[in-house]
């Protein structure tokens, strides 16, 4: 009988404690994985620091984490794509409303994953390389392919209504603000693999890397003329929409779309960072000015988008669990793209330690800021 341990958040704004946990039993559509590597994401320290406001449905003690790679140790009765012993990577969605984070949280030795959000790990990828992908690729796929966002055709597929073609020869341009973020790198490579032209932003040190993922033009997001440069690069072509990553991205994307006739904006980030708030021992009263500013800034952005005829919606990176995008991404697009080289495991992992006790340091390092890297812990 395997043993399980988890990095448990016993109370918000306290460090993780490593303690024994139940080994999950797979539901019919799940696999249970012996986790060998996890990656951390901004959402993990956002929940740890502000969950009582931002993830109000979560009760402590709780197991966090979305990105998992390891090997299958048990399969549910309806699972057909995986067998015990197989190396896999996948997206754990336990922190979503209505899910069970103890059963399906990444930061433990054994966790459950839905078969439809899991893929085989290619032989040429280590677990720490594969684990960079789940939330980054899933969030990018939600932004690009879900009908409520850009609604583009997926790589190798037509759109839902079958209208994937660009008969006039104009492939259409996708704008990704934040192309060197984890989500952005995946958005660039997925949009490019689907046959669209991509214009994006990154720091100059990451421009070549983002270009190698398929971006046609990479503009420095710190340049005060970045919006002008993107508009010039689009050069009158049809803009299919923008994906906004980073606190300043929504305002910049609205300007780009307004000036180029684009009408769809997928938002991944709040326009006010929660990082300082997340590091505080007490949320009150510091949260009041932060959330007031957030509310006012959002209202201003929504108004300017509406005036420009731009449809905006917030991305929920695990919402592909409940639509056709999830099974297509995890069952077809990722396995095929990784095998034929049209997709890569990006960004590069930065392995910060081994063992569940290293998870807290990994979150702190993520919150301090990364550049085109994913913080990973091996287990």
Ligand X SMILES: NC(=O)c1ccc[n+]([C@@H]2O[C@H](COP(=O)([O-])OP(=O)(O)OC[C@H]3O[C@@H](n4cnc5c(N)ncnc54)[C@H](OP(=O)(O)O)[C@@H]3O)[C@@H](O)[C@H]2O)c1
Listed in sequence order, the residues at least 6 apart from 230 whose beta carbon sits closer than 8 Å to its beta carbon are 175, 199, 201, 217, 219, 256
Per-residue contact string for residues 300-339; x = within reach of ligand X by CB under 6 A: ---------------xxx----------------------
Near ligand X in 358-377, by CB under 6 A: 370-372
Per-residue contact string for residues 89-128; x = within reach of ligand X by CB under 6 A: ----------------------------------------
Cβ of residue 205: shortest distance to ligand X, in angstroms? Answer: 7
CB nearer to ligand X: pick between 72 and 139: 139
Near ligand X in 126-155, by CB under 6 A: 135-136, 139
Cβ of residue 185: shortest distance to ligand X, in angstroms? Answer: 8
Cβ of residue 216: shortest distance to ligand X, in angstroms? Answer: 17
Near ligand X in 23-42, by CB under 6 A: 41-42
359 touches 38 (CB < 8 A):
yes
Interacting residue with ligand X among 95, 111, 180, 192 (CB under 6 A): 180
Cβ of residue 99: shortest distance to ligand X, in angstroms? Answer: 14
CA 131 – CA 108 distance, rounded (Å): 14
Cβ of residue 27: shortest distance to ligand X, in angstroms? Answer: 24
Cβ of residue 154: shortest distance to ligand X, in angstroms? Answer: 18
Cβ of residue 23: shortest distance to ligand X, in angstroms? Answer: 28
Cβ of residue 292: shortest distance to ligand X, in angstroms? Answer: 20
User: Bridge-partner residues for 89, per DSSP?
Assistant: 69, 119
- Binding segment (CB under 6 A) for ligand X, from list 53-61, 122-130, 181-189, 328-336: 181-189
- Binding segment (CB under 6 A) for ligand X, from list 94-102, 147-155, 241-249, 285-293: 241-249
Interacting residue with ligand X among 203, 263, 304, 342 (CB under 6 A): 203
Q: Is 246 in the site for ligand X (CB under 6 A)?
A: yes
Cβ of residue 5: shortest distance to ligand X, in angstroms? Answer: 26
- Other Cβ atoms closer than 10 A to 361: 16
Q: Is 356 in the site for ligand X (CB under 6 A)?
A: no
Interacting residue with ligand X among 32, 202, 362, 363 (CB under 6 A): 202
CB nearer to ligand X: pick between 71 and 348: 348
Count of residues near ligand X by CB under 6 A: 29
Interacting residue with ligand X among 64, 268, 320, 358 (CB under 6 A): 268
133 touches 334 (CB < 8 A):
yes
- Other Cβ atoms closer than 10 A to 303: 10
H, E, C per residue of the chain:
CCCEEEEEECCCCCCCEEEEECCCCCCCCEEEEEEEEEECCHHHHHHHHHHHHHCCCCCCCECCCCEEEEEEEEECCCCCCCCCCCEEEEECCCCCCCCCCCCCCCCECEEEEEHHHEEECCCCCCHHHHCCCHHHHHHHHHHHHCCCCCCCCCCCCCCCCCCCCCCCCCCCEEEEECCCCHHHHHHHHHHHHCCCEEEEECCHHHHHHHHHCCCCEEECCCCCCHHHHHHHHHCCCCEEEEEECCCCHHHHHHHHHHHHCCCEEEECCCCCCCHHHHCCCCCCCCHHHHHHHHHHHHHHHHHHHHHCCCEEEECCCCHHHHCCHHHHHHHHHHHHHHHHCCCCCCCEEEEEEECHHHHHHHHHHHHHCCCCEEEEEEC
For residue 101, give both structure tokens: 């984070």
Interacting residue with ligand X among 62, 114, 245, 358 (CB under 6 A): 245
Cβ of residue 129: shortest distance to ligand X, in angstroms? Answer: 16
Q: Is 183 in the site for ligand X (CB under 6 A)?
A: yes
CB nearer to ligand X: pick between 38 and 75: 38
Please give the residue ranges that form the binding site for ligand X (CB under 6 A): 41-43, 135-136, 139, 177-178, 180-183, 201-203, 206, 221, 245-246, 248-249, 268-269, 315-317, 370-372
């Amino acid at each position: 009988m395997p043993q399980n341990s988890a990095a448990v958040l016993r109370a918000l704004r306290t460090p993780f404690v490593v303690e024994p946990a139940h080994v999950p039993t797979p539901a019919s559509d799940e696999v249970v994985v012996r986790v060998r590597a996890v990656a951390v994401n901004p959402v993990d320290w956002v929940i740890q620091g502000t969950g009582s406001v931002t993830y109000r449905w979560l009760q402590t003690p709780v197991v966090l984490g979305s990105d998992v790679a390891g090997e299958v140790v048990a399969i549910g009765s309806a699972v057909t794509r995986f067998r015990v012993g197989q190396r896999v990577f996948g997206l754990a969605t336990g922190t979503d409303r209505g899910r069970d984070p103890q059963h399906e949280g990444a930061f433990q030795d054994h966790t459950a994953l839905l078969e439809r959000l899991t893929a085989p790990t290619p032989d040429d990828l280590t677990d720490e390389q594969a684990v960079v992908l789940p939330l980054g690729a899933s969030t990018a796929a939600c932004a690009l392919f879900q009908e409520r966002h850009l609604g583009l055709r997926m790589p190798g597929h037509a759109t839902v209504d079958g209208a994937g073609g660009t008969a006039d020869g104009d492939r259409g341009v996708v704008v990704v603000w934040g192309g060197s973020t984890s989500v952005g790198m995946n958005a660039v490579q997925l949009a490019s693999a689907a046959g669209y032209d991509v214009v994006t932003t990154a720091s100059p040190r990451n421009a070549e890397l983002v270009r190698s993922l398929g971006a046609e033009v990479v503009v420095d997001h710190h340049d005060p003329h970045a919006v002008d440069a993107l508009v010039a690069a689009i050069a009158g072509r049809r803009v299919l929409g923008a994906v906004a990553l980073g606190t300043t991205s929504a305002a910049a994307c609205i300007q780009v779309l307004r000036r180029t006739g684009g009408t769809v904006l997928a938002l991944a980030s709040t326009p006010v960072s929660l990082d300082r708030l997340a590091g505080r021992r007490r949320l009150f009263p510091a949260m009041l000015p932060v959330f007031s500013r957030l509310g006012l800034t959002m209202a201003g952005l929504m108004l300017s988008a509406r005036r420009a005829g731009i449809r905006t919606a917030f991305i929920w990176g695990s919402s592909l669990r409940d639509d056709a995008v999830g099974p297509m991404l995890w069952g077809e697009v990722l396995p095929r793209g990784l095998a034929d080289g049209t997709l890569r495991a990006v960004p590069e992992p930065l392995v910060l330690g081994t063992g569940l006790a290293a998870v807290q340091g990994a979150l702190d390092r993520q919150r301090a800021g990364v550049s085109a890297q994913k913080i990973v812990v091996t287990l």
